[in-house]
Amino acid sequence: MVTCDLRESKIFSFLSVPNLKDYQVIASPEGEDEGFWAGGCSSLRDKEGKIWLAYRLRNPEKRGHKVCIAVSTDGFRFQVLKNLSKDDFDGIISLERPSLLQDPFTGKYRLYLSAEKEGKWYIYKLEDTHSPENFDPSTAKIVFSPSIQNKDSRKVKDPYIFNFLNTWFMFYSGSGPEPQEEVYLAISQDGTRWIRMGRVLSRSHWHDYHTRMSCLMPVAKGFLCLYEGSSTGWYEPHFNLNIGIGFTLNLKNILDLTITEPLLFSSTGKKFSTVRYVDYVVLNNKILFYYEAARKDGSFELRVTQLVL
């Protein structure tokens, strides 16, 4: 973020957008065709300076069948230390986007997984651990479920979780009987018992089918929200999501700043323009953006693009 002189330009500030044509591949899909995906990532720079990724592998037969836990010292070269298979969990059909973070109070690592089971989507939490490669799938418990009293009666998935002012916040994708997703917020004092705060970003304009939270970036007086969306018109099919941007002062009311079209597209997509599941870490004088992007063959891979501050 670069601040401008109001007296000269009447432009209060602007955000440099990462150049997605300049990227490195972090993880490749298992095949070279539609339905093979590597991504859905969550990134973390821990207190020791190591960078961790939790990301999902998906193929047409097994769907989201694995979440990989990987570590790096430079943010570009990662070593996978742990694989969590959907077979490690009772009755799970597909693993969706995880959320990996470090508890600011205990120093332990937390992992939340979203997964489909018996036609509905739930959010699980594994027992906290001193190192991410020690996450034990046998400790997974459902901490957030669909609610028949609310509009998220069928899906609660793709959590983006963080701690702010000693409170845990969770943006998640929710939907009812219809498949379309919107962004909802829940808060918690312990990260396990959540209170619903309602919908914070709805479907509209170019993202009138799916609207999901990708990540949140604090700025001087609020937060920038990178959200993802797809349309029944321009950007079919529904999983072909692109990135828009919003702004919020209070984490509850999000102002959509990209109403007419998305902000980010894949630089290599042919059949799809997909960019989705963005997360980031700040390392020295740069931001490392991690995201899932479409390749020419129709598959999706996990990439990193750096933005020098």
Scored b (16 or more CB within 10 A) or e, 116-137 reads: bbeeebbbbbbebeeebeebeb
149 falls in which pLDDT band (50, 70, 90)?
confident
Q: What is the pLDDT of residue 258?
A: 95
Residue 112 CB-half CA count within 13 A: 28
If you average pLDDT over every residue of the chain, what do you get? 93
Quick: pLDDT tens for 38-63: 999 999 999 999 999 999 999 999 99
179 falls in which pLDDT band (50, 70, 90)?
confident
- Strand pairing partners for 42? 54
pLDDT at 4 over 70: no
* pTM of the shown model: 0.95
Among 176, 40, 192, CA closest to 110? 192
- Strand pairing partners for 182? 174
pLDDT at 5 over 80: no
Q: Which percentage of the chain shows pLDDT scores above 70?
A: 94
Question: What is the mean pLDDT of the segment spanning 95-118?
Answer: 97
Q: What is the pLDDT of residue 198?
A: 95
Contacts of 249 (CB under 8 A, 6+ apart): 221, 222, 223
Q: What is the pLDDT of residue 238?
A: 85
Among 111, 113, 172, 112, CA closest to 147? 172
Q: Which two tokens stand for residue 133?
A: 């490669």
Rounded to 5 degrees, φ, ψ at 206 are -70, -15
Domains of the chain: 22-308 (2.115.10.20)
Quick: pLDDT tens for 104-114: 999 999 999 99
Q: What is the pLDDT of residue 236?
A: 61
Per the model's pLDDT, the better-predicted residue between 258 and 179 turns out to be: 258
Q: What is the pLDDT of residue 216?
A: 96
- Strand pairing partners for 63? 59
Quick: pLDDT tens for 191-238: 999 999 999 999 999 999 999 999 999 988 899 999 999 987 655 678
Q: What is the pLDDT of residue 13?
A: 58
